[in-house]
Amino acid sequence: MMRAAKTNTEIRQGQIAQAALKLIARHGFHHLSVAAVANEVGIVPSNIYRHYQSKDQVLDGVLELVSERLLGNVAAARAEAPNSLGRLHCLLMRHAQLVQNDVPIPRVVFSEEIFTGHKPRRRRVLRIFQQYLEHIAELIREGQCVGEIRKELSPDTLSMMFLGLVQPAAILWLMSEGEHDLTQQVQSAWNIYCQMIQSEVRTKEAASSSTTRRGKPSRRFHLQPT
Amino acid sequence: MMRAAKTNTEIRQGQIAQAALKLIARHGFHHLSVAAVANEVGIVPSNIYRHYQSKDQVLDGVLELVSERLLGNVAAARAEAPNSLGRLHCLLMRHAQLVQNDVPIPRVVFSEEIFTGHKPRRRRVLRIFQQYLEHIAELIREGQCVGEIRKELSPDTLSMMFLGLVQPAAILWLMSEGEHDLTQQVQSAWNIYCQMIQSEVRTKEAASSSTTRRGKPSRRFHLQPT
DNA sequence: TGTACATCAGTGAACGCGCGTTCACTGATGTAC
DNA sequence: TGTACATCAGTGAACGCGCGTTCACTGATGTAC
C-alpha cells in the first residue's frame, strides 16, 4: 500500500467531511463506517483520528456541509429571481435538485441517528431545520408586503406546507430508486400551491398585479391529464 | 430467573412484533436489539428464534402492524365522516395522532434501515406508502365527483400534498421532543389546504354547495395572529 | 385414570463478526542554529 | 548551505464491545395406548 501524501489537517478535515457526505448520500447514514470514509479519502482508518476526535465529530462536519447547502440555496434563489413567488419556486426546484443529485438530505434529516442519537446533534439539526423554515417564512412575508401573496395566510404555516411539497415526493423517490419523477411531482404540487397562495387577481383592487396567473394560467394550474 | 410461561408460537409472534413496534416508537428503529425485544416480551433473546427465523422477519412483522394501522385509519375516517372533506380532515388528524401517541411512523418509514436495508423490505414499505396515497387519492376523487373538491386539481398531486401537511411538522415535532404542538400545526395547514381544494362557493353554479366555507369561514381560514 | 413418548417452547453459554478506537512506530516537512 | 531536532501526518496491529445467531439441554404440554 502506498503511503498517502502528508496533508494539512484543515484540508483533510474538509476532505473527510465531503467523503462522509458522499457516502451517506450513496449508502445512508448509519451504514457510514470510519473505514469507508478513510478509504474514500485514500487514507487509513486510524488516520481519521489525527483530524477528528471521533466519528461523532465527523458527523458534525457533515451537518455543517448540509446546512451550508440549504442556506446557500436560499441566497441563490434570492439572487436568481426578482419577486417572491419566483424565488420560492426557484428555491423549491433547487431543493428538489439537492435531494435528487447531490445530497439526499432526507438521509440526513430523517435519519435514525438524528432522532435517537445524542441530544446535542439532534438540537443542531433541529436548529438547521428551523433556520431554513424561517428563511422561507421571510420570503413569504416579503411577498405579502408587496401584495404578491395573500396576507391572511400565516407565513409559518405556509413555510411548513412549502416543505411538504417536496418531502413526501422525496421519500417516495428515494424508496422507489428513481421510479418516480421527483422534479415533475414537485412542479405539479408547486403549481397548486402557488395558485393558492398568490393574491387573487380577479378582484378589482389587484387586477393587474405582478403575478402571472392571468397571463398564462396553463402554467400555474395543473390540468388533469384525462 | 423465573421461566416464562410456555406460549403458543402464533401468540408469541404477535407479542414480539408488538414489543418491537413499541421499542421502535420509543428509541428508534436501528436501536432495536433482539435482546431488548425479548426483554420486553419477558423471554430470553435466543427464544425469539423459536418464533421468528431472524431479526429481519421480526421487522417484517412490525411493518405489517404499521400497514394495518395506516389503512385502518382510512377505513375509520370513512366511517366517521359523511363527506369527503370531513373524511380527509378526520384521516389527517388520526394520522397526526398516530405519529404523536402511538407509533411514530416517521421512525419506521424514514428510517435508514428502510432506505438502505435489503431491497425486499424497501419494496414492501414503498408499497404500503403507495397504497396509503392511493386511498387518499380515492377519497379526493369521490369528493370531486360530488362537487366538493375542485375537479381541475390532480388527485395524485393533492394526495401527495396531503401527506405534506403532516410530514414536516411531524419531523419537527420528533426532533424537538414535543416542543412544537403537532396537532395545532397540522390543523393550521389543513385549514389552508381545505380552503384551497374545495370548490368555489362564490361562483353562481355552486353557490350553496355542501362545503362550510361560507357558513363559518373563521374555522376554515387560518387568521394571522398579529 | 395412569403411563410412555413426542412435540415444542424456554434457557444460558458461547461463537463470530463488524466496527470504533487506541497505540507504538514510521517517515516526511519545517525550523533553529 | 548543511546538520539536528521538533512537529505532525500516515500506518498496521490489536483491543473491546455490542449484538445477531447457534446449539445442546431443560422442562412443560398434549396425545396414544
Q: What pLDDT, on the 0 to 100 scale, is given for residue A30?
A: 80
Band of pLDDT at residue A201, cut at 50, 70 and 90 = low
Band of pLDDT at residue B212, cut at 50, 70 and 90 = very low
Band of pLDDT at residue B180, cut at 50, 70 and 90 = confident
A116 pLDDT more than 80: no
Q: How far apart are CA B27 and CA A115, in angstroms?
A: 9
Q: Please give the residue of chain A at the shortest CA–CA distance from B151.
A: A224
Question: Which of B153, B158, B189 is closest, CB to CB, to A160?
Answer: B189
Mean pLDDT of all residues in A149-176: 95
Write the single-letter amino acid at B198.
Q
Band of pLDDT at residue B112, cut at 50, 70 and 90 = low
Q: What is the pLDDT of residues B60-97, one digit of tens each?
A: 999 999 999 999 999 999 999 999 999 999 999 999 99
Question: Which of A110, A165, A175 is closest, CB to CB, to B125?
Answer: A175
Q: What pLDDT, on the 0 to 100 scale, is given for residue B33?
A: 96
How many angstroms separate the CA of B204 from the C1' of D6? 89
Q: What is the pLDDT of residues A89-99, one digit of tens each?
A: 999 999 999 98
Q: Best mutation site among B110, B122, B196 for testing chain A: the one with the most A CBs within 10 Å?
A: B110
Query: Across chain A, what does the average pLDDT equal?
Result: 86
Q: What is the pLDDT of residues A15-45, one digit of tens each?
A: 999 999 999 988 888 889 999 999 999 999 9
Nearest nucleotide by C1' position to the B6 CA atom: C9
B102 pLDDT more than 60: yes
Q: Please give the residue of chain B at the shortest CA–CA distance from A115.
A: B175
Q: A1: distance to nearest CA of chain B, Å?
A: 31
Mean pLDDT of all residues in A172-184: 89
Q: How far apart are CA A98 and CA A92, in angstroms?
A: 10
Q: What pLDDT, on the 0 to 100 scale, is given for residue A211?
A: 39
B108 pLDDT more than 90: no
| Contact criterion met (CB below 8 Å) for A186 and A96 | yes
B215 pLDDT more than 50: no
| Contact criterion met (CB below 8 Å) for B109 and A171 | yes
Q: What pLDDT, on the 0 to 100 scale, is given for residue B52?
A: 98
Asked whether residue A49's C-beta has any atom of DNA/RNA strand C within 7 A, the reply is yes
Q: What pLDDT, on the 0 to 100 scale, is given for residue B226?
A: 33
A127 pLDDT more than 70: yes
Q: How far apart are CA B201 and CA B191, in angstroms?
A: 16
Band of pLDDT at residue B50, cut at 50, 70 and 90 = very high
Q: What pLDDT, on the 0 to 100 scale, is given for residue A110?
A: 66
State whether the Cα torsion B206-B209-B212-B214 is positive or negative: positive
User: What 3-state class would DSSP assign to A146?
Assistant: coil
Q: What pLDDT, on the 0 to 100 scale, is given for residue A103?
A: 73
Nearest nucleotide by C1' position to the B15 CA atom: C9
Number of residues written out for chain A: 226
B24 pLDDT more than 60: yes
Q: A163: distance to nearest CA of chain B, Å?
A: 7
Q: A78: distance to nearest CA of chain B, Å?
A: 23
Percent of chain B with pLDDT over 90: 66
Q: Is the Cβ pair A115, B125 closer than 8 Å?
A: no
* Bases along strand D below 7 A from a protein CB: 8-14, 18-24, 27-29
Of B109 and B144, the one with more pLDDT: B144
How is residue A193 written as a grid cell? 400551491
Task: Using alpha carbons, select from A107, A95, A102, A213 the residue that is nearest to residue A164.
Answer: A95
* Bases along strand C below 7 A from a protein CB: 8-14, 18-24, 27-29
Band of pLDDT at residue B7, cut at 50, 70 and 90 = very high
Band of pLDDT at residue A8, cut at 50, 70 and 90 = very high
Q: What is the pLDDT of residues B165-177, one digit of tens each?
A: 999 999 899 888 8
Percent of chain B with pLDDT over 70: 84
Mean pLDDT of all residues in B115-144: 91
DSSP string, A158-216: HHHHHHHTTHHHHHHHHHHTT-S-HHHHHHHHHHHHHHHHBPPSSSSTTTT-S-STTT-
Q: What pLDDT, on the 0 to 100 scale, is given for residue B110?
A: 66
Band of pLDDT at residue B194, cut at 50, 70 and 90 = very high
B35 pLDDT more than 60: yes
Q: 0.85 exceeded by the pTM? A: yes
